[in-house]
Amino acid sequence: MLNATRQNRRVGLVGFCCDTGLGFVNRTLYRHLPFASWLVLDHPRYGSRNEFLDDRCRIFGLKSPRSAVTEWLTSVDSIFAVERGFVPGLRGLSMSRGVDFILMPNVEWLDLEDPGVHLIDRFIAPTEHCYRVLCDAGLQSRSVFIPHFVDTDLFRFKLRERANLFVHFSGHGGVQGRKGTDIVLELARRCPEVSFKIYSQEPLAGAIPSNVAVHGATPQPEDLYEYGDVAIQPSRWEGVGLQILEAMASGIPTILPNAPPMNEYPANDQLLIKCSAGTVDLGHKVWQTAEIELDHLEEVVRSLHNQNISDMSRRARTQMERRSWHSMGSKYAYQLGI
């Protein structure tokens, strides 16, 4: 079991460096914390953004020879991964070299029936919901809750004064409609007098209502939040929901389902929408989902439309400042032993 008081360890980061949420998280971690090295996994679809790497980084394919990974493990005392280890057999290889494994899981991808899960030395739970799941699985002694960070220096505050434009961040859309973009489109059909903007990195299927503007990828992640007054993120489930945190950090009040972990974030209860419970088959397990009540969502959007939201905007930013690197960085460094 890893000893949290043992500082100045050589800690290696494991994960993607690309234009996905997970790739962006790893880039942020590497920029802010003094990792000894980074085992960069070359994403099979999006590759790697080499401009964010330096001479402490080594790029590996997901099917790199075990000997190459084992050699890399000789240079570290601990490894840290977000969501999953991804490299097949990584936990066994790290154990064979006496290297501790620290994981910050996205809980929907955590298979608690996998015997390897109980060999993880430490879990850093990024949401209260994740921490409860780990505790219920008997892993409380090796788990700690640290709220997921948001880089408030990058996602700068811009006061939103009146709710004229409602935005939705779909990204790559999420598996099985996870982001709820279909719900936002149906909402727009119900509210033709309201202006909407949807950011999606993939084409949207079907007819788009005339009051919806659709935009693709932006040059920089922070550019997503330049425009828009209120965000609507009716996610059916999230591990964390980076776009929720980033939008709020940028001063955009964000409407969310009243279900974990999404309901951990808003500073205003008015922005939490009633929902019903469902399930989704993720392949490795069945996971609970939240299906937002469209009538309640419409009611809230209509109540906010054209209203002053300055206070909501400030409170959204304040809520995220509690998760900034200025607040969270030392907690992550301590748990990693850096």
Reported pTM: 0.94
CATH for 126: 3.40.50.2000
Do 170 and 309 share a structural domain? yes
Pairing of strands 37-41, 11-16: parallel
- Check pLDDT > 60 for residue 136: yes
Do 249 and 289 share a structural domain? yes
% of the chain beyond a pLDDT of 90 = 82
Residue 7's pLDDT band (cuts 50, 70, 90)? low
Average pLDDT over residues 174-199: 93
More confident residue, 116 or 165: 165
Residue 85's pLDDT band (cuts 50, 70, 90)? confident
- In-domain check, residue 5: no
Dist. CA 137–CA 135, nearest whole Å: 5
Candidate from 145-159, 162-176, 241-255, 269-283 with smallest mean pLDDT: 162-176
Do 62 and 19 share a structural domain? yes
Do 186 and 144 share a structural domain? no
- In-domain check, residue 159: no
Quick one: pLDDT at residue 172? 64
Pairing of strands 165-171, 230-232: parallel
Average pLDDT over residues 5-15: 83
- Check pLDDT > 70 for residue 5: no
Q: Of 64, 143, 77, 151, nearest to 110 (Cα)?
A: 143
Averaged pLDDT of the chain: 93
The pair phi, psi for residue 278, each rounded to 5°, is -145, -170
Average pLDDT over residues 243-248: 97
Do 189 and 103 share a structural domain? no
Boundaries of domain holding 18 = 11-149+325-336
Do 119 and 170 share a structural domain? no
Dist. CA 132–CA 126, nearest whole Å: 11
Quick one: pLDDT at residue 173? 56
Do 115 and 242 share a structural domain? no
- In-domain check, residue 156: no
Burial readout 109-132 (b: 16 or more C-beta within 10 A, e: otherwise): ebeeeeeebeebbbbbbbbebbbb
- In-domain check, residue 145: yes
- In-domain check, residue 262: yes
Do 187 and 105 share a structural domain? no
- In-domain check, residue 2: no
Do 277 and 173 share a structural domain? yes
- In-domain check, residue 273: yes
Structural domain count, the chain: 2
Average pLDDT over residues 147-166: 97
- In-domain check, residue 258: yes
Do 139 and 16 share a structural domain? yes
Burial readout 55-89 (b: 16 or more C-beta within 10 A, e: otherwise): eebbebeeebeeeebeebbeebbbbbbbbbbbbee
Do 235 and 126 share a structural domain? no
Do 176 and 317 share a structural domain? yes
